[in-house]
Chains A and B, each alone.
Chain A
Amino acid sequence: MNASLCSMCAFAKSSIGRKIIVAVTGLALVLFLAGHLTGNLLIFAGRDAFNDYAQFLHEVFHGAGVWIARIGLLACFVAHVWFTILLTRENKTARKKYAHQATVQAPKSSLIMIWSGLTILAFIIFHLLHFTVKAGTDYASFMQVMPDGSERHDAWKMVIVGFSNPLVAIFYIIAMTLLCSHLSHGVASIFQTLGLRSKKTAGPINVLSRIYAIVIYLGFISIPLAILLFGFGCEACK
């Protein structure tokens, strides 16, 4: 038992072990994004569909489901950020700079991973305060009256009102652009770090990674763009 604990901590201290932790937590977050996007796109299906979905999320396992997901995601997120910061700090000190610097084939997105990542971190904190905690807003008072006269939280209206603020929408779009960049290198990296990339699969993995990043990007920005540019759902703002 002691020996196995010891080899676990050796793993978490080694460069490859920490990278594998970053890859596995990254994979969890990547899959979460796909689910989150699918749910969000229900906004275009209308107020009822979107609020049904929001209500469903809050009622799975008598309300425990959403907390299990939140705690799991938070753990992945913290581990992902923590280990990347450790690795990046080591990488910065592993060498001096060349007087004449050159890059042969590293993609731009791979060179700014820490910066795209930290911007996404800042965004997520804002995003949670904005839509989950609803700090400094009256979103919690938005109610949808059901045909039977009962009331439920109107998440649909919250999103429409939230994104009608151009500053919020612009910050959101900037963050999604960096997320797209982060994913285009990150998704491919998961395969390499978990040892699933070979000479044959390298090409398809790169393509898959880029396509995934673009789908996530277009999917997420479609919502603020629809609200801001095309006035989608704006009868709710009044």
Chain B
Amino acid sequence: MPLLNLTLKVWRQENAKSEGRIETYEAKEIPTSASFLEMIDIVNERLIQDGEEPIHFDHDCREGICGMCSMTINGVPHSKERGITTCQLHMRKFSDGETIWIEPFRANAFPVVKDLVVNRSSFDRIIAAGGYISVRTGSAPDAHAIQIPKPDADAAFDAAACIGCGACVAACKNASAMLFVSAKASHLNHLPQGQAEKDQRVLGMVRQMDEEGFGNCTNQFECEAVCPKEISASHIAKLNRDYLAASARDSVS
């Protein structure tokens, strides 16, 4: 099996308060069949053997569904490969002798916890501000009790694919969270169950997004290009439209 020898430039940062810096590591004899996270695992094992601090990074499912594996590879969140998370990236995409820059997702609303680990609880607060529907709990309603037109169901499903990874924010030149917020709002705004709280949802989520210190969208669509779930920026257009309508209704009510 071919083996790769790589140079890693990795962001190391003790904690949220300390100054970070780029450190250089040699990643020797990495199998091309390894995933990107396995490559870091191998490097970390060697660091531990040498009595050094391993590189801290977030991960969980390692199959592209949890959205934890936040890191920026050569300046692009989840790497330049389209439609995948970092854990789905294979080392065969790199060539021998390459230098790879690995940095945390950068946004003031995502403070660094340690090395590549960032705190994305700002996303949770945005969801708490409106990314839900209120339903009575108890026995499950009949599946066909509320009919949903196919185009709406499809659009809602596309938006619902967002795994909340934060790559959109990390890729945006302005650290704007519009793709995430629009996906979460659009998911519910497309469905009959989401109509009752629609205006409240849109106004609440956007207000929270602004309070968290995310930047403002400048329609460059870097977010769309890096989103592992290929969420379309047309959801952002819908959010803009829904926000305008919600503000108008809010001002006359």
**Which A residues form the contact surface with B (CB < 8 A)?**
3-4, 7-8, 10-11, 13-20, 87, 90-91, 93-107, 110-111, 113, 185, 188-189, 191-199, 202
The contact of B215 among A7, A95, A198, by CB within 8 Å, is A95
Contact flag A4-B251 (CB < 8 Å), given A16-B206, A20-B240, A95-B215: yes
On whether the beta carbons of A94 and B233 are closer than 8 Å, the reply is: no
On whether the beta carbons of A99 and B109 are closer than 8 Å, the reply is: no
On whether the beta carbons of A19 and B217 are closer than 8 Å, the reply is: yes
Minimum C-beta distance from B150 to chain A (A): 16
B16 within 8 A of A: no
On whether the beta carbons of B216 and A19 are closer than 8 Å, the reply is: yes
On whether the beta carbons of B220 and A196 are closer than 8 Å, the reply is: no
Q: Could you pull out 12 A-B pairs where Cβ atoms are within 8 angstroms?
A: A3-B253, A13-B210, A14-B207, A15-B210, A20-B240, A94-B107, A94-B175, A96-B106, A105-B225, A192-B236, A197-B233, A198-B234
Which of B62-70, B74-82, B134-142 contacts the other chain? Answer: B74-82
On whether the beta carbons of A99 and B22 are closer than 8 Å, the reply is: yes
Contact flag A104-B225 (CB < 8 Å), given A91-B218, A93-B108, A95-B106: yes
Give the interface SS of chain B, mostly helix, strand, loop or mixed: mixed
- For the complex with contacts A15-B176, A104-B171, 16 further pairs of A-B residues with Cβ separation under 8 Å are A10-B203, A10-B207, A17-B243, A19-B216, A19-B217, A90-B216, A95-B108, A98-B103, A102-B75, A105-B220, A113-B218, A185-B219, A189-B218, A191-B237, A192-B233, A195-B241
Give the interface SS of chain A, mostly helix, strand, loop or mixed: helix
Q: How far is the CA of A96 from the CA of B243 in the complex (A)?
A: 29
Of chain A, the residue at the smallest CB distance from B109 is A94
Minimum C-beta distance from B218 to chain A (A): 6
Contacts of A202 in B (CB 8 A): 234
Of chain A, the residue at the smallest CB distance from B213 is A94
Minimum C-beta distance from A114 to chain B (A): 9
